[in-house]
Chains A and B, each alone.
Chain A
């Protein structure tokens, strides 16, 4: 019984008390998200960018690694973002970089979200020594500046091929403690609630309680945290590629493009501005989506922002 009805803080219907039909929580969240106009626009833009990068990148008549006979051309109809000194089409390169950034960021968010949630939930539920030890491990990761550890770990990453996946693993290994801390805090407050005690009375084991009762209730917080991690991961990956320890040539990424073209900022500005703008727009979209989700999941916040 406790498996099917998850008591939710505030509860469905508590928000829309004037509504005769009870609404499901998911629909309520979606409805509140859509009310956040900037977040909705950002979500649409983000999806369009993803489509452009993955579908458009495949359709575009230049590959990111095809030489064109045009060197250092300003933006034109043939090359919307211009070309660099070697004759690469920047539009194709930016699309490829966007693909890489999004792939890495989504992987990081998924990996650190799942691992961090389970880690934090376990720490909070077991409590005592186990909790102390598990949280010490999480703190350990946060002491060291991420860029140093990432540079060391990523330094011997092979170029091309599966290189991007390893960068994702490295960044996930550095971001999961944020999720773990958050989830642990939630679990500590949730586990004192009646429905957990009820589940326990019915003989549910710790892992069953974590997966069936605690995590669904912590979902809102986790989703918001994971969205923020997507933005953080995009910036971290581009920064890592910028200092030369992320994605490397012959593959390309937005950070690498900015790094390669930083000296061209005054002579051939398009080479510098387009990749940078793409980073800003992607990160901005993700941050706004995160903000919208926070409002949508937050039962305590009043509707004064609409």
Chain B
């Protein structure tokens, strides 16, 4: 097992290295970070421009820029930012905010997928199944930003109708934050409700289809029929025998969708005006802030890769027939 983990990690390193190099070249080619400074009226003095160029390492060859970024990472140096903020200082709290959202959304989506998938499989071709299928198709075709604005507006209407703030629709926490542990927790929880719902609703539909089809398949297998024949209650067979087997491949499906979830989080955070990874990425891209974009991509891709590894390990733990080699 340990040897497998190490080998997988070793395989991953070149992927991340090549990926980071390609994105570095891509971001560098996407425009001049000094564009805004150059366009300023009255013109900025050449000395300041040169100093800025030097600070952003633009006077170095591309390969050297990349090398200094790469080696800097290991020393905790994320590189200079166009906006003069400390990238490392800025990104960690934002990562926490976004990961909180993604984790909660995954949990909610899993719950929805299980409930909807199992009910559809057990009541195959009944009206419930058709209802869930249609709802799944509708959510699959719904742009996350549209659903988010729609929900946000509903929440605002409810707030206005009741004359109190039942739903928070702006930001990831109140400004200034409340003091004390429990007030902080409830404040964050209040802000996270709507974005989590949006993200979960726009993600769970394919997962529930997956649960449905693997449940249908498992229910026709010999060992489930045997369990039934032994006289075990329907519910026990369903949960202990069928669902456990059907769940295993779902871990891989969820892990593979993680990168998509981070994309969805960017959109959702934008609508709810969070100070998370979403606005960090968008302003970094807009400012052509090379090192900020690189920091974002590196963190998210490492999370995606690690999560995929965990999913594969989990797969082996859950299904004894799989041997990692």
Contacts and interface: CB of A to CB of B under 8 A. Distances in A.
Interface of A: 136, 139-140, 142-149, 151-153, 155-156, 231, 235, 238-239, 242-245, 255, 258-259, 262, 265-266, 272, 276, 279-280, 283-284, 286-288, 291, 304-305
B310 interface: no
Contacts of B156: 266
Among A243, A283, A286, the most chain B Cβ lie within 10 Å of the Cβ of: A243
B267 A265 contact: no
Interface stretch (B85-93, B139-147, B244-252): B139-147
Interface stretch (B69-77, B186-194, B233-241, B257-265): B257-265
B138 A284 contact: yes
B65 interface: no
Given A143-B15, A152-B30, A288 B137 contact: yes
A143 B23 contact: no
A53 to B, nearest CB: 17
A187 to B, nearest CB: 20
Contact of A145 (B18, B137, B150, B259): B259
7 contacts: A140-B22, A144-B23, A149-B297, A155-B288, A235-B143, A244-B286, A286-B141
B19 A155 contact: no
A147 B19 contact: no
Chain A to chain B: the 7 pairs with minimum beta-carbon distance, closest first: A283-B141, A147-B263, A284-B141, A276-B146, A145-B262, A145-B263, A145-B259
A242 B267 contact: yes
Interface residues of B, number: 46
B305 interface: yes
Interface of B: 15-16, 18-19, 22-23, 26-27, 30-31, 125, 137-138, 140-146, 149-150, 153, 156-157, 256, 259-260, 262-263, 266-267, 270-271, 281-282, 285-286, 288, 293, 296-297, 300-301, 304-305
Given A243-B282, A284-B141, A155 B263 contact: no
A287 B141 contact: yes
A146 B143 contact: no
A146 B257 CA distance: 11
Contacts of B288: 155
Contact of B23 (A152, A255, A284): A152
Contacts of A145: 259-260, 262-263, 266, 300, 304
